[in-house]
Amino acid sequence: MFMGHYAPAVWDTKRGSSAPLIPLWLGFLAVQFIDIIFAVLVMLGIEGGGTMVDGVPIFDIPFSHSLLSTLFLSCVGAVIFQMISKAKGPKVFFVFAMLIFSHWVLDLVVHRPDLPLYPGGELMLGFGVWNFPYIAYALEMGLLLAGFLFWMKVTQPKSTLYSILPWALFAVMGLIQYAFILAPGLEVQAGTFDINSGPQGVALGISALLTYAVIAVWVAWIERGRPSKYAA
Ligand SMILES: [Zn+2]
């Protein structure tokens, strides 16, 4: 999953009638923490690449995306994010840990079986919704849309600019989802996908990290002009 990951960030941080517990831009980084670790491991040459199995790409992500490492990274990441966040305490730790772990749960739905239980484990998990590219696109963008609608509902724009910025971001995220998930998915279906095309190694890691950073900065910008309706 790619853009769909961001939905829980909105739901968990701006819950109904209470003031937001953590800044949304940090939530946006937390839900991608597993892929941020993946990007770092790719740059170090530890992960990345993959093999074609029965015509579909199976990616090599044993350390960032195994169930065991995700549980571990959820705890480590929650400690790091809590250090950055102004709010502290067990509740904040729990929210960050759940946001980070949500990444694995959503990946489980869309990934083709390349998620091991532990690094090196034989059993690979993944329900493979990415094998149905348009359904997967609708699912991910639908999740993201639900998150955005909720975000707009619980915040108030200071000016028209802050009514436009979120939807401009949504459109850009839809394009990224198209370019990096839907288009390759259609190629896999057509049998024309080349696992060695596109950026690899350091280039892949840097472009992934830049994407997460730009989205988080954009969200922080929107947050400045769209305070919570429930903020004290
Ligand atoms: Zn992932």
- Average pLDDT for 89-102: 93
Q: What is the Å distance from ligand 1's center to 191 Cα?
A: 23
Residues 32, 212 contacting (CB under 8 angstroms): yes
CA distances to 9, 26, 63, 139 from 223, rounded to whole Å, are 13, 11, 33, 26
Expressed in angstroms and rounded, the spacing between residue 84 Cα and the centre of ligand 1 is 23
Residue 17: pLDDT over 60: no
Looking at the domain assignment, is residue 27 inside a domain?
Answer: yes
Cα(173) to centroid(ligand 1), Å: 16
- Residue with more model confidence, 166 or 232: 166
Q: Report if residue 147 sits inside a domain.
A: yes
What's at 137, amino acid-wise? Y
Computed over every residue of the chain, the mean pLDDT equals 91
Give distance in angstroms: CA of 32 to centre of ligand 1: 7
What are the tens digits of pLDDT across the range 132-160?
A: 999 999 999 999 999 999 999 889 999 99
Average confidence (pLDDT) over 8-12: 64
Please check whether residue 200 lies inside any domain of the structure: yes
Contact in structure between 230 and 18 (CB atoms under 8 Å): yes
Read off the pLDDT band of 162 (50, 70, 90).
very high
Domain that holds residue 48: 3-225
Distance 156 CA to ligand 1 centre (A): 32
185 falls within a domain: yes
Length of the chain: 232
List of E strands, the chain: 50-53, 56-59, 115-116, 124-125
Question: Given a cut of 80, is residue 13 above it in pLDDT?
Answer: no
The answer to the question of residue 230 being in a domain is: no
Helices (H) and strands (E) counted in the chain, each on its own, are 9, 4
Compute the distance from residue 71 Cα to the ligand 1 centre, in Å.
Answer: 14
CA atoms of 180 and 176, how far apart (whole Å): 6
Burial class (CB in 10 A: 0-12, 13-18, 19+), 191: exposed
Say which residues have a Cβ less than 8 Å from residue 74's Cβ, sequence separation at least 6. Answer: 97, 98, 100, 101
Range 138-141, long-range pairs (CB < 8 A, 24+ positions)? 139/4, 139/109, 139/110, 140/1, 140/2, 140/3, 140/4, 140/110, 140/177, 140/181, 141/3, 141/4, 141/174, 141/177
Ligand 1 centroid to 1 CA: how many Å? 6
CA 161 to centroid of ligand 1, rounded, Å: 32
Q: How far away, in angstroms, is 209 Cα from ligand 1 center?
A: 13
Give 196's pLDDT tier (boundaries 50, 70, 90).
Answer: confident
Mean pLDDT on 169-196: 94
In a domain, 231, yes or no: no
Ligand 1 geometric centre to CA of 55 (Å): 21
Does residue 206 sit within a domain?
yes
* Whether pLDDT at 48 is above 90: no
DSSP 178: I
Region 34-41 average pLDDT: 97
Residue 8 lies in a domain: yes
State mean pLDDT over 191-219: 93
Number of domains the chain is built from: 1
Cβ-based neighbour number of residue 187 at 10 Å: 15
CA of 113 to the centre of ligand 1 (A): 13
pTM score, whole prediction = 0.92
